[in-house]
Structure 1
Amino acid sequence: ICVLLVQVSYLMTIDWTNSGTATVLQTLNLVFVLTWVCLRVKRLPLKHELVGVLLAFAGTFLIATGGNFASLSLPWQGLAWGLVDAVSTAAMSILPVMLMLKWGNMTINGITFLMSGLILCPFAQPWANIPALDARGVLLLLYTIVCGTFLAFWLYMAGVMRVGAVRATMLGTSEPVMATITAVAWAGETFTFTDLTGFAMIIIMVFLVR
């Protein structure tokens, strides 16, 4: 359920809003994870955790939107899907840990992706809707499946097992940094002041959560 909803709700949020808004809404999972951890161990958030959450959220906002509030698009459907994405992303950082400790990260990831794919097949019908791809398209699709999806989830959950849900979730907000760097390297984009400010906030956060 977590893997299926994380994938579907994020894309549905983009469909109803835009990629920047979807990224910012997804970052709200930090709040849900920190709240759950504090309730579970019956403590208040630590100062460096609160500062880390604020820096991660602010940095993501600057990178995703350029600091422009007007670029946020929030129809109620987009907001609803964005909150589903945030909650399911937070749950994915918490619920599978015991299973992974018993059966291993690779096994749990493989089973969850297989099951979510099978559940979606009757609705998506990829055999009927997949576009005609040349060799380059097939290679890019395989790269997206193996590296952009399975490997990304596997590494993220490996981090959760080693440093805990809160730290792993905050460290995961470095994703927009890499996305921007990739856009500069591959698409000829340029860094803006807000990009660099967001980078600095997220890098500071990384040192705080150590």
Structure 2
Amino acid sequence: MDRPARRRGLILVITGAVLWGISGTVAKKLFQHYAIEVDWLVTTRLLIAGILLLTVQFFTKDRSQITSVWKNRRAAFKLVIFALFGTLAVQYTYMASIQHGNAAVATLLQYLAPVMIIIYLVLRKQTVFTVQDLVTVSLALVGCFLLLTNGSISQLSVPTPAIVWGVLSGVTLAFYTVYAVPLLKQYDSLVIVGWAMIIGGAALSFIHPPWQANFADMPLEACLYLVFVIVFGTMLAFWFYIESLQSLSPKESSLVGSLEPLAAVLTTVLWLKEPFGYFQWIGTSCIIGMILLLALKKAPTNQKTNATVS
């Protein structure tokens, strides 16, 4: 791989990870100061980002896949399941955790998904529990304890609803990652994730239609934040991550992708001025260390498989 292509891949994955992390903090700003509802934001975010991803597929890759996925009944059924219980579920639980808590805690709890996958594979006897797995799980548990309690056993430093939604976000991300593997062996990532976003957004539209918003009274600042979350924090972030896999190994992309929780923590503390205790910083370091350890693990899986872990 030539040096310019590798440099381009690094720039793409760094940009994508930072955009993901910042978008969670921007979403918290929308919830706090502009009374934007979670249901509406998730619906709008999924629909617009999904349409944009399929548009990218249409103009840059094999456009026939956009319709061919629906001609295979088995693949179409799996796509709908993936959309509802994977894409929609992980987006909603993540945003709900941000609304009740903050982007830093929500992002870090979501990154428990790799540990859940390890436990799932061990229980299914598809892998053995190694020393590295033990270290990984230990870092995750210690990190979560310190993050949520700030070292105090008597009380939680994070609201309970934020913890529940955050853990559910990790569970749904684990499902999202594992369930998508067969689909991504047949079709491009942009096709699967694009359609999944559209299906998830359409399903949630029955509960909270995206057109039910008073844009006339919405200040310009709020509109700009919305554009950032939908276009930069969802569509472009995912696209950049996918494109980085053209010039970087999945392990390298996953490693650099660990900048996401770091970006979420820093923007939450520095921009939103959310309090973050000494022990919470130690807990954050443990979870980021867990992510780095997983990213450095040998024998990464197929590129398309790794492309969903974001």
TM-score (norm. length: structure 1) = 0.71
1:152 Cα deviation after fit: 4.4
| 2:250 maps to amino acid | R
1:14 Cα deviation after fit: 5.7
Q: 1:67 to 1:106 in 2, by over 3 A?
A: farther
Q: Which segments of 5 or more consecutive residues in structure 1 lack a partner in the other structure?
A: none
1:140 Cα deviation after fit: 1.3
Structure (1 or 2) with the greater helix fraction: 1
Among residues 221, 245, 252, which one is paired with 1:136 in the alignment?
221
Deviates more, 1:146-155 or 1:103-112: 146-155
**Distance across 1 between alignment mates of 2:122 and 2:181:** 17
**Distance across 2 between alignment mates of 1:171 and 1:40:** 30
**Distance across 2 between alignment mates of 1:191 and 1:73:** 14
Q: SS at 1:128's partner residue? A: coil
**Distance across 2 between alignment mates of 1:84 and 1:191:** 22
Residue of structure 2 in register with 1:33 after alignment: 117
CA contact (8 A) 1:22 1:82 kept: yes
**Distance across 1 between alignment mates of 2:288 and 2:208:** 39
Residue of structure 1 in register with 2:92 after alignment: 8
**Distance across 2 between alignment mates of 1:100 and 1:119:** 22
Q: 1:108 to 1:65 in 2, by over 3 A?
A: farther
The share of aligned pairs that are identical, in percent, is 30
**Distance across 1 between alignment mates of 2:191 and 2:290:** 31
| 1:36 maps to amino acid | Y
Residue of structure 2 in register with 1:110 after alignment: 194
Q: SS at 2:127's partner residue? A: coil
Pairwise CA RMSD: 3.8
Q: SS at 2:133's partner residue? A: helix
Q: 1:144 to 1:113 in 2, by over 3 A?
A: same
**Distance across 2 between alignment mates of 1:105 and 1:7:** 17
1:208 Cα deviation after fit: 2.7
TM-score (norm. length: structure 2) = 0.52
Among residues 72, 85, 91, which one is paired with 2:169 in the alignment?
85
The structure, 1 or 2, with the larger RCO (C-alpha pairs under 8 Å, 6+ apart) is 2
Q: SS at 2:271's partner residue? A: helix
**Distance across 2 between alignment mates of 1:136 and 1:150:** 20
Residue 149 in structure 1 maps to residue 234 in structure 2? yes
1:112 Cα deviation after fit: 0.9
| 2:88 maps to amino acid | L
CA contact (8 A) 1:174 1:202 kept: no
Count matched residues.
Answer: 202
CA radius of gyration, larger in: 2
| 1:162 maps to amino acid | P
Q: SS at 1:124's partner residue? A: coil
